[in-house]
Amino acid sequence: MPITRRALLASPVLALAADPKPNIVLIMADDMGFADLSSYGATDIRTPHIDSIGKQGVRFTNAYCNAPECTPSRTALLTGRYQQRVGGLECALGVGNVGRYDEAIWLRERNQMGLPFEEVTIARMLRQAGYDTACSGKWHLGYTSDFAPNGHGFDEYFGILGGNADYYKHTEEDGTNVLYENGKPVQREGYLTDLIGRHAVAWLKKRTAKPFFLYVPFSSPHSPYQSNTVKEIPSGGYNRGSRKTYAEMVEIMDAQVGEILAQLDRMGAAKNTWVIFLSDNGGTNVGSNKPYRGFKSSVWEGGIRTACLMRWPGVFRPASETAQISLMFDITASIAAAAGVQPPKPLDGQNLIAQWKGEKPAQPRTVFWRYRRADNTRKAVRDGDWKLVNDNGAESLHHLGRDPREQNNLLAQEPAVAAGLRKKLAAWEQDVRAPRLKQFYATSGKTARQD
């Protein structure tokens, strides 16, 4: 009998292939150093599955996180906008949803600490466009139901709500269980990275004809440093650990990425699926950010550069590279464009698919960072190859084309360049002031921070 169009569309795999909208699988590591993949120079860590994404697609040499810590980076990635526009999320949320600087503390006192539902995430945009959506992994954008993943456009959620957890007990430092599934605490046996990966694969197995968006923010290799060989948290505490254990954690994550990629193959979805891998910020001192200066929580290149790999068969050329300056929120804007979604708010990110494909040359960018914790304020602006850093008032100017390691301070030699960047940074800070902090500034007697 002849096969009709209706019969074709009734077949899940064929219908999936016939839908012009790509599936999206967005995978993120946590605190992984720039140089901690084999394809980025690691010699003591084997990451064949993650590396395969770049071998089958594009490898980034100029990719940045929007912040040097977890919560602000995730805010920018999901909203496509500078996290400063939200307010109170310029620093990782503390254990138990604690605010760590004045604006965040003020919001926490009013039970407003987290990503509010007024901010429209890429998951919500895609769900409204007909996508199935799921998040399997670390949330870190609010502990309470007012900020839960399911309210932000995810049909299903499984993972930890906070910033870290014992990989076997699934508890934070204070002993609280933070493993949740669709708004309810759950108990599961097993290593957290494996549980996250298995849930992602199980969700993929249930897909039918609709396009899908799967967000997999692993908590690995964030502390505590535990692996298959080190099951107890080191006696020195959550932030003590060895490079060897860290490497094992990355390799366990790589194995789970391999399982996700294999499932895409098994279900016949790989050809129409855009797979993205990156980290949320630079590595800590057990990670490697070589050749760059600095670590997590700094706005030096080592704190904000990320390894980034993408594959999308028929779109990105295998084994290609892009030097386009790209931030996390550019991924958001590009996903929206690929899915034919019109964001309800203007995005700060840009659709850079043409640059990543190599169809257009890399375009110049002016991009900004600001990080807050306690009394610390660290910020930076990059304009072309020039970068101005203000680390708690101490300024330095660097030309990244000639000095990617930020070793030579050219502030005295190039005062006009520094003045221009300083002016752009001040204008940006005015532009991204958060509406929900108006009352804070009115009642505290402070002005929108520009120090």
- The percentage of residues in the chain with a pLDDT greater than 70, rounded to a whole number, is 94
Residue 211: predicted pLDDT: 97
Residue 234: predicted pLDDT: 80
- The whole-number average pLDDT for the span 152-179 is 96
Name beta bridge partners: 272: none
Catalytic residues: 70, 140
To the nearest whole number, what is the mean pLDDT of the chain? 93
Fold of 366-444: Arylsulfatase, C-terminal domain (3.30.1120)
Q: Are 169 and 192 in contact (CB under 8 A)?
A: no
Fold of 21-357: Alkaline Phosphatase, subunit A (3.40.720)
- The whole-number average pLDDT for the span 342-360 is 97
Closest by Cα among 108, 99, 172, 173 to 146 = 108
Residue 2: predicted pLDDT: 38
| Nearby residues of 383 by Cβ (< 8 Å), 6 or more positions away | 364, 365, 366, 420, 421, 424
**pLDDT band at 237; cut points 50, 70, 90:** confident
Q: What are phi and psi of 438, to 5 degrees?
A: -55, -45
- The whole-number average pLDDT for the span 102-123 is 96
Q: Which helix (H) or strand (E) holds 276?
A: strand 273-279
Q: Are 162 and 240 in contact (CB under 8 A)?
A: no
What is the edge-to-edge ordering of all strands in the sheet holding 386-391?
A: 366-373, 376-383, 386-391, 394-399
**pLDDT band at 19; cut points 50, 70, 90:** low
Which of 105-109, 322-326, 440-444, 445-449 is predicted least confidently?
Answer: 445-449
CA distance 87 to 159: 25
Work out the angle between the directed axes of helices 48-55 and 243-266 (0-180°, nearest 10). Answer: 60
Residue 445: predicted pLDDT: 62
3-state class (DSSP) for residue 104:
helix
Helices (H), 305-393: 328-338, 353-357
In the predicted structure, residue 378 carries a pLDDT above the cut 60: yes
Q: Where along the chain do its domains lie?
A: 21-357, 366-444
DSSP 8-state secondary structure symbol assigned to residue 40: G
**pLDDT band at 20; cut points 50, 70, 90:** confident
In the predicted structure, residue 12 carries a pLDDT above the cut 50: no
- The whole-number average pLDDT for the span 41-57 is 98
Residue 450: predicted pLDDT: 44
Residue 138: predicted pLDDT: 98
Residue 159: predicted pLDDT: 98
